[in-house]
Structure 1
Amino acid sequence: MLSGVFSPLGILASLLVLGALVLATLFQLKRRQRAAWEVFAKAHGLSIADRRMEVQGRYQGRALLLATGKRGASSKKRHTVTVLRLDLEGALPADLLLEHERPEDKIPGAATPRDEVVGDAELDAAFQVEGLAPEARPIILDPGVRQRLLGLKGHRRVSIKGGWLQVEQRGVPASAAALEALLRAPHDLARAVTEAAPATNAVEASPHAETSRMDEELPGSEHA
């Protein structure tokens, strides 16, 4: 009996069975993920794409885009991330770039210039800053904004760019509760930023402008 199991045909049959089990598990996971995203979208009146994991619309009055993307320079290191974007409603200048990336996710040899500083030791240690206009500094240093920014350091990547807050995490949430949890801290930060900004900073984008920004491909991502 054992000789049959360890024969070339026996090994091949075992590999085929194992492969089928892996594929079935992945299929079930994809179905569970899709169902969770559909439940989340329906609960908040958001739209979900037919052929990809992408949700967009207005979440609690704020423009949102939630999608999956691929990261990794090589096939062995390639992995899926979930990317969340929230509109900051003009509270910060579009030219401002504030970015945090975990050391293990940085591209080897990539330059990390530090030409500008916010003026807070913890923030400057955690974030790279470019295009820091004078009116942006007090907003970033607002106690509520500062605390929430530092609270996002555990994510794979966090950035404020072009007037949007973008947060990435590895993997794809497979429950509506996990999606709600993913949004909670970034949404609190986005709200703190708009509350800290002077009323004159806020700009109301036209529906056409908002749609065009929402339809842009996520920076550095490939929709999965």
Structure 2
Amino acid sequence: MLPGVSSPLGILASLLVLGALVLFTLFQLKRRQRAAWEAFAKANGLICAEKRLEVQGRYRGHPLLLATGKRGAGGKRRHTVTVARLDLEGALPADLLLEYEHPEDKVPGAATPREELLGDAELDAAFQVENLAPEARPVLLAPEVRQRLLGLRGHRRVSIKGGWLQVEQRGVPGSTGALDALLRAPHELARAVTEAAPALPSPRAMEGSPHADEELPGSEHA
């Protein structure tokens, strides 16, 4: 043991040093994350918000909103997530709801009634479906769409709601490579959906797009 560390003043000094190191590490992490999000936005012609980790614009043909938020009631269960939303631009009906939640995040004992099925055993085992219009079924069952949907089961949460595809993962990507990796599979699914749809209306404007704070209050600041 170092001389003086066992004294009250020595313990206090050690705690202060440790606290300063933790704060410095967090500051450096936040700065790296911010730099990565700004670089990603610039490389893809997107807009990065000034005071929070949020990027939006048209990403490889699809309107995108990428943001951070909080999940959990509090304490150790409360955690940061990154949410990616891609506009399907009318490829599926706006009232269709399709949801997947990672088994670890489900509330124990909670059961969701199954009233509608796609007719595919794997998809029906993974996703909850509501308001399944006849024209939506063949799009969701198209081979590439089906494959891409099943490929998203590694994420924490996946949903198609209000005409938007939303994918969520824990944590905050801290590099442009990690951001590209986060968006790769959702973008491939969005592309497959729009290609499988019989006809698309003119693209919606980015203004008025849903914000991550609508479902994830308390989005993190940069």
**Shared fold, TM over 0.5:** yes
The one-letter amino acid paired with 1:174 is G
SS at match of 1:68: strand
In the other structure, the counterpart of 1:27 is 27
Q: Match of 2:107?
A: 107
Distance in 2 between residues matched to 1:144 and 1:170, nearest whole Å = 26
* CA distance in structure 2 between the aligned counterparts of 1:146 and 1:87, rounded to whole angstroms: 18
Letter in 2 for 1:83: V
| Stretches of structure 1 lacking an aligned partner (at least 5 in a row) | none
- Partner residue in 1 for 2:70: 70
1:147 equivalent to 2:143? Answer no
- Contact in 2 for aligned 1:56/1:214 (Cα 8 Å): no
1:41 corresponds to 2:44? no
Q: Cα distance, 1:16 vs. partner?
A: 1.0
Gaps of 5+ in 2: none
Q: TM-score, normalised by structure 1?
A: 0.93
* TM-score (structure 2 length as normaliser): 0.94
Is 1:211 aligned to residue 186 of structure 2? no
Secondary structure, aligned partner of 2:77: coil
Q: Within the alignment, does 1:223 sit opposite 2:219 as a pair? A: yes
Letter in 1 for 2:13: A
% identical equivalent positions: 75
For residues 71 and 208 of structure 2, the distance between their equivalents in structure 1, rounded to whole angstroms, comes to: 24
User: Structure 1 segments of 4 or more deviating over 6 A?
Assistant: none
Shift of 1:211: 0.6
Give the alignment's Cα RMSD to 1 decimal: 1.6
C-alpha change, 1:51 and 1:145, in structure 2 (3 Å) is same
1:167-220 C-alpha deviation (Å, 9 max, x unpaired): 001110110111011111100000000000101xx122453xx31124573424
CA contact (8 A) 1:100 1:157 kept: yes
Tell me the distance in 1 between the aligned counterparts of 2:10 and 2:155: 45
Residue 192 (structure 2) pairs with residue 192 (structure 1) = yes
Q: How many residues align?
A: 220
CA offsets per residue over residues 156-176 of structure 1, 9 Å max, x none?
Answer: 000000000000011101101
Amino acid at match of 2:121: A
Could you tell me how far apart the structure 1 residues matched to 2:124 and 2:141 are? 11
